[in-house]
Structure 1
Amino acid sequence: MTAHPSPGHHPSSSTGAPPSPTVDVHAHVLLPEVEALVEGRPGLAGARALDARRNGPAALAVNGPMVRGRLPRLTDAAVRLAAMDAQGVDVQLVSPSPSHYHYWADEETAEKLYRLAGEATAAHCAADPDRLRGLGLVPLQHPDLMVPALDHALARGLSGVEISSHAPGRELSDPAYEPFWTRAEETGAVLFLHPFGCTLDERLDRWYLSNTVGQPTENAVALSHLIFSGVLDRHPGLKLIAAHGGGYLPTHIGRSDHAWSTRPDAGAGCAHPPSSYLKRLYFDSLVHDPHVLRELVRVAGADRVLLGSDFPFDMGTEDPVGALRAARLSEADFHAVRGGNAAALLRKD
């Protein structure tokens, strides 16, 4: 992966080392083809009703105009690339909007969905393969389809797949997912953990708590399932990026360590203190607070944090490099997070 000349292009150090690209690992694409596929299918109306209950009417009234105003950046690759230039971003790792998960879908629909999502995302990224890398989807509600879905994404030239924090009735610690973790580890696929919807439901249906509190909560719960169940012991080579800086878990990991060391039920499933597993995961930088970002770098390691913007949604940042610079990291750590870590992670053998 080489740097593209853009306003955000920086040398990797002041010593004349070769420049590294600025890489944003948290950027989305909207796929109208997917929504056309599921329209009218049994289960869609119920899923939309649940989403409405979880978000509340005030949030839904804002969401529609917000998304419509961002449609060109979400669907038109040329508009995306121009926006990247303005932000100083050389490369984006583009994942489908989480609204495309549709974990209510039956097996036949789910197979059509992951194929269409992978093909449409690959087509979007084909506009500039040097600057746009893509992720596909896998149906968490149908574990038997997940390995074929991952293979389909990789065969389309995508870097991996995006997953949510859970599926109905299944946590990420579910043993049924073991073949998927095994295949992801074998292939070196990138897994992007991005929640959609919070099971606290109507408790968060005002003031956009469904997102501001719900997303970090879901990240923390999902990562805790992966850690405490031993998934990361069994699959130490997983390349898993947690969106939103991993939510609440990294800044409160001491409580997990205390439980692991004090209670036999908490410590039964994983071999090491929970904090040690943060250094086996990757996290995006989208935490909206420079002090929190510094703490994330401290607990996970500067080599485990990647630039993320949530492009182009309103809960993201329009200036991801500026947000990173505000954390006042060392020069080496700044450039590692800005793009060096992601460039190494996405590099093809």
Structure 2
Amino acid sequence: MTSPTVDVHAHVLLPEIEALVAGMPAHSEAKELDARRNGSDALAVSGPMVRARIPKMTDVTARLTAMDAQGVDVQLVSPSPSHYHYWADRDTAEKVYRLANEATTAHCAQAPDRLRGLGLVPLQHPDLMVRALDHALGQGLAGVEISSHAPGHELSDPAYEPFWSRAQEAGAILFLHPFGCTLDERLDQWYLSNTVGQPAENAVALSHLIFSGVLDRHPGLKLIAAHGGGYLPTHIGRSDHAWSARSDAGAGCAHLPSSYLRRIYFDSLVHDPRVLGSLIEVAGADRVLLGSDFPFDMGSEDPVGALRGARLPETDFDAVRGGNAAALLRLA
């Protein structure tokens, strides 16, 4: 039987969350920082772009119509990363993740045969993350979405160990999707905050997970890296060399960094068939999943066509198109 076509990188917009945080001083400060990092030209384009796409991110009928046009059977829906709000205090953070989990569940419940959901956890409060993950799973969500870091915390922080343990034990999917880049105003022109910043953040976050030994201690984690894992998969040779040549680089993980790429899942959203071919070569065809970044302008309006452009063997094409994700999500 042919597997469904599954897009693992699709977003939902949750106005309830933005209403919750509106007017909070810390939220205003975070918005100002985001504006500086992106630059005025990017904000002038992004505002209208997002507004035009609100129906596809909030209305299930509009979402399904778009999915049909793309030939996508199932989406794994995650909250817009703009909802992370890692600036929030403990009380606000708990309200945010509960609202995100419940609202995403309600959205997906309108088309349960075609939509699966991911929730949020407060990465800035490591001691709340297990409870937040359990709340998401209790709602029937497949797992949670996280960014590449939170203020004062890299993903290698030992404070996250209980979260990784619980995620592995529960078989939860973790979708690593950066939001913002700490290179700040260096990327405030020409939308470099996204085109350079997002791949850089992916590479940094994955390197923290690999070099710190997180993936040694939790080999069963179901981790999906957005944007094809950024720069890391195509430049993993430099990591391997450092691991072999330097005692400080090789101290934290047991194996060559490149070997860990076959323990991570990656979406296919790299915008270049040659890069997609390289990703499949280093990670394996069984570790790449179709992703579109629906419905944003930096995504793909034809993810299946983009995948076809890589000219993969038929078995690999079918695996990436949906077979791998169907197995991961345990779709009937």
TMscore range, shorter length = over 0.9
Q: Which residue of 1 aligns with 2:284?
A: 301
Q: Which residue of 2 aligns with 1:67?
A: 50
Distance 2:142 2:167 in 1: 11
Q: Which residue of 1 aligns with 2:239?
A: 256
Q: Which residue of 1 aligns with 2:161?
A: 178
Match of 1:197 among 180, 190, 214: 180
Match of 1:45 among 18, 28, 31: 28
Q: Which residue of 2 aligns with 1:105?
A: 88
Q: Which residue of 2 aligns with 1:336?
A: 319
Deviation at 1:348, TM superposition (A): 6.9
Contiguous gaps of at least 5 residues in structure 1: 1-17
Cα offsets for 1:13-45 (capped at 9, x unmatched): xxxxx1100000000000000000111123001
Distance 2:331 2:55 in 1: 30
Distance 2:164 2:314 in 1: 35
Match of 1:206 among 165, 177, 189: 189
SS at match of 1:180: helix
Distance 1:93 1:256 in 2: 31
Distance 1:129 1:311 in 2: 18
SS at match of 2:118: strand
Distance 2:12 2:6 in 1: 16
What amino acid does structure 2 have at the position aligned with 1:319? Answer: D
SS at match of 1:136: strand
Alignment RMSD (CA, Å)? 0.8
Distance 2:331 2:303 in 1: 25
Distance 1:149 1:328 in 2: 41
Match of 1:216 among 199, 204, 221: 199
Distance 1:63 1:295 in 2: 31
Residues 1-349 of structure 1 aligned to structure 2 (within 5 Å): 18-347=1-330
Distance 2:2 2:86 in 1: 41
Distance 1:215 1:240 in 2: 17
What amino acid does structure 1 have at the position aligned with 2:201? Answer: E
- The percentage of counterpart residues that share the same residue type is 83
Contiguous gaps of at least 5 residues in structure 2: none
More helix per residue? 2
TM superposition score normalised by structure 2: 0.99
Cα offsets for 1:229-254 (capped at 9, x unmatched): 00000000000000000000000000
What amino acid does structure 2 have at the position aligned with 1:121? Answer: T
Equivalent pairs counted in the alignment come to 332
Distance 2:254 2:101 in 1: 36
SS at match of 2:72: coil
Cα offsets for 1:245-304 (capped at 9, x unmatched): 000000000000000000000000000000000000000000000000000000000000
Cα offsets for 1:36-76 (capped at 9, x unmatched): 01111230011000000000000000010000000100100
SS at match of 1:70: helix
What amino acid does structure 2 have at the position aligned with 1:52? Answer: A
SS at match of 1:192: strand
What amino acid does structure 2 have at the position aligned with 1:246? Answer: G
Distance 2:142 2:168 in 1: 13
Distance 2:50 2:25 in 1: 25
Distance 2:77 2:167 in 1: 18
SS at match of 2:252: coil
Cα offsets for 1:94-125 (capped at 9, x unmatched): 00000000000000000000000000000000
Distance 1:74 1:128 in 2: 14
